[in-house]
Structure 1
C-alpha cells in the first residue's frame, strides 16, 4: 500500500482555504481577534513567511498521519509490519479491497479525530490559559472543519 503524497499535500493546503474562510472578519475572524486581544496593527507585525511556512509544515504533519486514522487498509498494512507481500495482508485486501475508501468515510473519521483528539487538547489548554469558551469553540471549530476535509481528501483520493 503506497502513500498518496499528492493527496497529503492537497489536504495540507486545504487548511489554508478553510483558514481563509473561517478567520475572515465576516465569519469568525473578528471574534477570534477580540478573544485573543489581537489588533490589525499587531497582526501586520507578524513575519507572515514564517507563520505561513510553519503552518504548512504543521498541516503537512497532520495530513501525513491522518491515513492511519481515516484509511482502514493502512491499519491492516501496519498489522502486516508494512510488508506488502504478507499473505494475510494480500488476502485481506483481496476480500475487502477499497471498502470504506470514500470521501464520506474519511470525513467522518477526520471529524472524529478532531472531536476526540484536537478538541480536548485545545479545550484543556484554553481552560488553563483562562481563555473564553468563544475562543475554544472558534479555534476547535476550525480544526473540526479542517480535519473533516483533510480526512475526506486523504481517504477518498485513490
Structure 2
C-alpha cells in the first residue's frame, strides 16, 4: 500500500474549514473566548501565517497517523512485515479479495469519531482540568476535534 499524500493534505486542510465555522463568533467563538479567558485585544498582534501554517502541519501529522486507524488494510500489510515489495502470495490474495473492503467515507468517519471520542477528548479534558479550564472550554475544543477527526477519517478512508 502507498500513502495517499493528497488525501492527507485535504484532510489536514479540512480542519481550517471546520475551524472557521466552529470558532466563528456566531457559533462557538464568543463562548470559547470567554471560557479561555481571551479578549479581542489579547488575540491581536499574533503572526497568523505562522499559526495557520503550524496548525495545518500538525493536522497533517494527525492525518498521517489517522490513516493507520481508519484503513484496515494497513494492518494486513503490517502483519507481513510492512514491506509491500516483499509480501507473500497470501497477502496478495488477501488484498485482491479485501483490498477495498470497508473503504468508505462512512466507515472512516466512524473510526475518526471513535478516535476523537476515546483518545482526543480524554487528552483535551485531562490537560484542561489541570489548567483549571471549565467544562464549557473542554467541550468546545474537544467537540471541534471530534468533528474534525470524523471528517478527516472519512476523507482518508474513502479516498482510494
TM-score scaled to structure 2, two decimals?
Answer: 0.96
* 1:20-45 deviation per Cα after TM superposition (whole angstroms, max 9, x unaligned): 00000000000100011111121122
Are 1:108 and 2:110 an aligned pair?
yes
Q: Which residue of 1 aligns with 2:50?
A: 50
CA distance in 2 between counterparts of 1:25 and 1:80 reads 50
CA distance in 2 between counterparts of 1:97 and 1:3 reads 14
- TM alignment of 1:69-148, pairs within 5 A: 69-84=69-84, 85-87=86-88, 88-148=90-150
- TM alignment of 1:26-65, pairs within 5 A: 26-65=26-65
Hey, which bits of structure 1, 4+ residues long, moved more than 6 A? none
Q: Which residue of 2 aligns with 1:153?
A: 155
* 1:105-136 deviation per Cα after TM superposition (whole angstroms, max 9, x unaligned): 00000000011110011001111111100000
* 1:4-24 deviation per Cα after TM superposition (whole angstroms, max 9, x unaligned): 110000000000000000000
Deviation at 1:49, TM superposition (A): 1.4
* Aligned CA-pair RMSD: 0.9
TM-score scaled to structure 1, two decimals?
Answer: 0.97
* 1:46-105 deviation per Cα after TM superposition (whole angstroms, max 9, x unaligned): 111111111111001001111110000011111112222412321211221200000000
How many pairs are equivalent? 158
> Can you give the 5+ residue segments of structure 1 that lack an aligned partner in the other structure?
none
